[in-house]
Amino acid sequence: MILGKPLLTTQQIQKKVEELANKISKDYSGKDLVVIGILKGAFMFFSDIVRAIKVPITIDFIMASSYVKTETSGEVKIYYDVREPLSDKDVLLVDDIIDSGITLNYVRESILTKNPKSLKICIFLDKKERRMVKVPLDYVGFEIPNEYVVGYGLDYDSKFRNLPYVSVFKKET
């Protein structure tokens, strides 16, 4: 297993986080915003972006994942659900990466059953080429090519989440 050089540096990431947070702060000024992070992958992006958002917010988490290692199985499970009431709240879902779209679509539909006033999605990385299910994305950090990446919350086999940047991950041949 090898790590390539950073695809996105800490500096590039922090600049993007500021941009997204400024946009979110403008869009939600005067609203009752609940920001929900999807664990585990979004934890680092989430903690950076909520610190850069300048309007009052409520924070919660949902833990969801599809089963297998690098390939998406299509089966999604929610391990921990949101506890804050969402009815009549403006909700922003924050996730690390969208690939097939299956996970995010599942979580989105689950949140919608809680009757929020509005629901938007903020995604750190978009692997557009791989999309199988269409999911509306409102704030996108970076579009990336179809390569497996790790770091800044993203894992391979539960490792590399703590890297402060994003790197391409390749199996040695």
Q: Which does 98 bind (CB under 5 to 8 A by kind): ligand IMP, Mg ion, none?
A: ligand IMP
Q: How far apart are alpha carbons 151 and 33 in whole angstroms? A: 28
**Count of residues touching ligand IMP (by CB under 6 A):** 18
Q: Applying CB under 6 A, which part among 8-16, 77-85, 109-117, 145-153 lies near ligand IMP?
A: 145-153
Shortest Cβ 130–ligand IMP spacing (Å) = 7
Q: Which does 6 bind (CB under 5 to 8 A by kind): Mg ion, ligand IMP, none?
A: none
Task: Determine if the peptide bond prior to 40 is cis (ω within 30°).
Answer: yes
**Per-residue tokens: 97:** 């990466």
In the region spanning residues 60 to 99, those forming contacts with ligand IMP, defined by CB under 6 A, are 66, 72, 95-99
Shortest Cβ 120–ligand IMP spacing (Å) = 17
Q: Which does 148 bind (CB under 5 to 8 A by kind): Mg ion, ligand IMP, none?
A: ligand IMP
Q: Does 13 bind ligand IMP (CB under 6 A)?
A: no
Selected from 8, 13, 35, 149, the binder of ligand IMP by CB under 6 A is: 149
Q: Which residues carry out catalysis?
A: 99
Contacts to ligand IMP by CB under 6 A: 41, 66, 72, 95-104, 148-150, 154-155
